[in-house]
Structure 1
């Protein structure tokens, strides 16, 4: 009987590029996508639809769903280059851009990607704390009445959120996040279902008393003409960016097993993840608009479109918080990895950076602790939390950062990499169609950026540091 050699056994632990064998499947990749894409912003889509109306809101939801599906599929085919099945792996988005488009565009990509990732982690800290605060307010309103003054400071909730992120940030890398993504996905489904259920209940009870329209808010009745324009810009931007997960798409694909080919599995995951997202976005946005009409709040679970049953509102906001705690890690891990990779190359002999200690944790197992990772990741979370505490209106700034990075990350780079990899002839029908899509999405980005800037200016005029809300 032949006994396999130690080399062959050891070799089974590694993929064709010498990296520890990946174990991801279309299920885990789909969970990553849903966790990354569906945030608590899903519950603000009723506001976005209210600005655009039944026609504009529905069309926007469908168009940006299809655009995201197309560009994510183009990116999936660029994971291996030059051949999408047998080529060399591109483990990160910026490495993919560097290998296919060159060094200058690589620098632009890195700037856009990491700016957006940092902005998203700040946004998640703010939104998570708002959900925690909403639980406190829900109980207060139930006890003292809907007109009671239940304002409170959010800083304590931001600090609590930050503590959880410090702990979870010690998860070694993206490949160890599958369980967290699946949990976060379950949470997103749960609070979305609660929001949908409450909307249906409100429609059944008093839906005839709300005003809706094909074009949304009415100029001269609900808003002024300038407010209609700015709100519409922001709504289009909100819907477009709600689908974006391009800044982590390559890292998600890099978790997949090499057999079957990663691009095929990732395309399946894209279809599943984006279809689920579109389904919930449509239900929450359209049913929320039917429930609240042109008076739809910014977020009908944290903005108190519903007050009762208060315990169900509490549960929904707990689910939102848990989801955001998990989604934060999806966007923070690429930042951690980039700094740690650069540091290990810059100081390969420093024990602080390279040495690992085995720490046994009861009921969990052995933790491979690295002091540099522990310190750097903790400091990052603390800084993000402090920024969120100091500038609690930062969501508008994050919206602006999302606006200026949406076009390059979600549309421009995927299209340019595909055209280069597939060697599509210039001025052919396919080439022209791809370029036209780029121009359209650039216009959307500019419009949304202008709307976000207007929102920032409005917030600054009314901003009072460390004020209770």
Structure 2
């Protein structure tokens, strides 16, 4: 649940300001916990049947064909975009760690660091399923908690003793229009941080279930623990990072930190380990969809060569796109609104209303419609801000540099 998006939360706070920033972070935590609970509940709503994939739940809610057309494109966009962002994150974190541990070394281009990070996935992508990633996933979870803690403690250690007047909390933009677009981008940054919904049903599918002990029991316990950890990571990093650096914070808080040098370098290594696991968690459902389509629809033979080709080409493509547009903050803003807001903020609510049909103007009806309205606004506004941020960043960027 704790993704690399946590690193951009101080930057999002600097674009939102204290009041709006606190409201958006807390409200997003509440809304996405609510929609995650809905998905866990809907996993086994039909007796004797489990909806092990997001699109299967969509088909039950909207119909066989319409469900596929609504859910699959969104889910694929989320998973592919997250893999691209994690490629950029892994490359940048490796680059920062290299700078921290080797001050006198010759700088290495970001493009090469992304390629180094991708080389790990050319191997890991051939593991068979989620369960074979249990060790990597556990290590990634531990790393996310560790580097998040380092991020806010190291920020607090730096403090503002160098001069309170040096820290500014005014708008980052020089114009009113820029301020508005930055606000939109920040909404997408926050939305990207809450990205676990897209694989939650696949994860729940791995939990044994009986009529006496349905999977939603242990799954919901896991969700509660995960969201407590999310709160312990997200809120301190977002609030303390912004308090210490103000509007000068980078789109990745660990890039802003310089001291203590060895701890900052170590934290970036932890980020790399985390996004290695995170990349695979989001890539495996994509592999499954592509291979199923090729075998069932195009009638290709399910050979080991097909599996090898699909996975290798996918890793290569995400690596290439990451090398072309390595703009962490802009990518998070754009994909956070365009891809993650629908699947995390309001698609579960639409399914809930469609399937359960709660009493009109009742508590459940209002709760779902409020989430839907907020999510739709995110989907419309955040990509605009994210795209503008990417365009501005691209002005001074030399391809493959």
TM-score norm. by structure 2 comes to 0.91
Question: Which structure 1 residue ranges, 4+ long, deviate > 6 Å from structure 2?
Answer: none
Residue 105 of structure 1: aligned partner: 67
Residue 298 of structure 1: aligned partner: 251
Cα distance in 2 between the residues matched to 1:398 and 1:279:
21
Trace 1:162-241 onto structure 2 (pairs within 5 A): 162-203=118-159, 205-206=161-162, 208-211=164-167, 216-218=169-171, 223-241=174-192
Q: Does 1:315 align with 2:277?
A: no
Q: Paired residue for 1:443, among 377, 380, 388?
A: 377
Contact 1:113 1:409 in 2 (8 A): yes
Residue 268 of structure 1: aligned partner: 221
Cα distance in 2 between the residues matched to 1:397 and 1:299:
12
Cα distance in 1 between the residues matched to 2:276 and 2:90:
7
Contact 1:50 1:293 in 2 (8 A): yes
Task: Report the Cα offset of residue 430 of structure 1.
Answer: 2.7
Higher-helix-fraction structure: 2
Q: Paired residue for 1:74, among 35, 38, 49?
A: 38
Q: Does 1:96 align with 2:71?
A: no
Q: Paired residue for 1:339, among 290, 313, 320?
A: 290
Task: Report the Cα offset of residue 328 of structure 1.
Answer: 0.1
Q: Does 1:38 align with 2:3?
A: yes
Task: Report the Cα offset of residue 105 of structure 1.
Answer: 3.2
Task: Report the Cα offset of residue 226 of structure 1.
Answer: 2.4
Cα distance in 2 between the residues matched to 1:416 and 1:264:
23
Deviation digits for residues 410-431 of structure 1 (CA, Å, limit 9, x no counterpart): 2332112222332324454532
Contact 2:195 2:344 in 1 (8 A): yes
Q: Paired residue for 1:49, among 7, 10, 13?
A: 13
Task: Report the Cα offset of residue 291 of structure 1.
Answer: 1.5
Deviation digits for residues 38-95 of structure 1 (CA, Å, limit 9, x no counterpart): 21x312211221222222222211100000000001111111233xxx3411111011
Give the RMSD, CA atoms, in angstroms.
Answer: 2.3
* Number of residues of Structure 1 aligned to a counterpart in Structure 2: 398
Cα distance in 1 between the residues matched to 2:58 and 2:398:
42
Name the stretch that deviates more: 260-269 or 417-426: 417-426
Cα distance in 2 between the residues matched to 1:451 and 1:396:
8
Task: Report the Cα offset of residue 385 of structure 1.
Answer: 1.2
Q: Paired residue for 2:100, among 126, 138, 149?
A: 138
Contact 1:200 1:287 in 2 (8 A): yes
Structure-2 change in CA distance of 1:315 and 1:375 (3 Å): same
Residue 158 of structure 1: aligned partner: 114
Cα distance in 2 between the residues matched to 1:137 and 1:416:
47
Residue 287 of structure 1: aligned partner: 240
Cα distance in 2 between the residues matched to 1:391 and 1:50:
23
Q: Which runs of 5+ in 1 are unaligned?
A: 1-33, 145-149, 355-369
Q: Does 1:454 align with 2:383?
A: no
Q: Paired residue for 2:203, among 252, 256, 259?
A: 252
Cα distance in 2 between the residues matched to 1:275 and 1:120:
23
Cα distance in 2 between the residues matched to 1:432 and 1:195:
38
Q: Paired residue for 1:382, among 294, 301, 316?
A: 316
Residue 356 of structure 2: aligned partner: 422
Q: Does 1:403 align with 2:337?
A: yes
Cα distance in 2 between the residues matched to 1:249 and 1:207:
45
Residue 359 of structure 1: aligned partner: none
Task: State the secondary structure of the residue aligned to 2:259.
Answer: coil
